[in-house]
Amino acid sequence: MSTVKQSAQAATSDVVGTAKSATAETVTAATDFLHTPAVRAALPFINGGLSGMVATTVIQPIDMIKVRIQLAGEGKAGGPKPTPLGVTRDIIASGKAMDLYTGLSAGLLRQAVYTTARIGCFDTFMSRLSARAKEKGQTVGFSERASAGLAAGGLAAMIGNPADLALIRMQSDGLKPVAERKNYKSVIDALRGIARNEGVAALWAGAAPTVVRAMALNFGQLAFFSEAKAQLKTRTEWSSEVQTLSASAIAGFFASFFSLPFDFVKTRLQKQTRGADGKLPYNGMVDCFAKVAKQEGVFRFYRGFGTYYVRIAPHAMVTLLVADYLGWLTK
């Protein structure tokens, strides 16, 4: 009887040992896969794109309201001064609540392209800067963070401009008379229609202010986020989550302040279409800045700052929190 019991225990031990060994091998295989050079190089881009798409899904209604505020009263010194609540009420009254998500497919495509490249490039640049600084026994400074943010933002904006253009066209379509609306079904339909009717080059309309806006936004967002988090880490005993949220809020303010004028001009340039005389209202970024300043006043560039901040700061918070979490999962 004792011999049978011992044999059973031995068999059980062998099964448990085999199961643990198999589990360990599975975990090791997964870990080894995550640490292959190709995957490590791709992860910042994948995590960046996913985090941006999550944030855009949350923030899209605010972005829709921001665009409508920027386009109100075009060409008039006084013009209407819509409020966020008023714009929201008008959109819902003219259609349905889901109209606030108009252009979501374009927003997601933009994030899949733009934020993937933006955060991926920034993380890649910062990794190389950190490695170089470590070799020299130094730390990465604010100027280096700023340069990395500017470069990442500019590169990503140029790549993502067609999706950004489609987003603006879809969001502004409802402002046109019913007979003139394009009624785009999706971002692909918008891109195809713009390329067919205006030429492929038109997909990069407003690229100059888009790039400058992205550089200004990333200078404010990524550089100030990285710097604020570094300062909070050394000066406070807050948890990592609180430090990330606080740094995101700080970064969101500076990102909004530096980038809003360029975002305003970008929206105007991407929304414009040729009139009956075949001419466009603006001949480029500088011309748009000059005409808006002359016809509508310089403060028009900062109209809707509160809405823009509410759009930028939470988007930054969600993006950076999700990116941090995905980075932790895949470290």
Task: Return the amino acid letter for 296.
Answer: E
Helices (H), the chain: 2-34, 37-71, 84-94, 104-110, 116-135, 142-172, 187-198, 207-218, 224-235, 240-271, 285-296, 305-329
Give the list of residues 6+ apart from residue 216 with CB closer than 8 angstroms, or none.
Answer: 153, 255, 258, 259, 262
- Identify whether the C-beta of residue 308 lies closer than 8 Å to the C-beta of residue 260: yes
Instruction: List the one residue out of 12, 112, 101 whose CA is nearest residue 62.
Output: 101
pLDDT digits (tens, 9 = 90+) for 38-90: 888 788 788 878 888 888 888 888 888 888 888 877 766 666 678 888 888 88
Exposure string over 74-99, b if 16+ CB within 10 A, otherwise e? beeeeeeebebeebbeebeeeeeeee
DSSP codes joined into one string, 157-206: HHHHHHHHHHHHHHHHGGGS-GGG-----SHHHHHHHHHHHH-GGGGGTT
Residues of the chain predicted below pLDDT 70: 1-31, 75-80
Minimal CA–CA distance to 166: which of 144, 145, 182, 154?
A: 182
Of 52, 46, 50, 40, nearest to 218 by C-alpha is: 52
What pLDDT score does 80 carry?
Answer: 66
Q: What integer pLDDT is reported at residue 40 of this predicted model? A: 80
Please give the pLDDT value at position 27: 43
- Using CA atoms in the order 242, 254, 288, 107, what is the torsion angle rounded to 10 degrees? -10
Give me the pLDDT at residue 287, please: 94
| pTM reported for the whole predicted model | 0.62
CA pair distance 132, 48, nearest whole angstrom: 23
Three-class HEC string of 225-264: HHHHHHHHHHHCCCCHHHHHHHHHHHHHHHHHHHHHHHHH
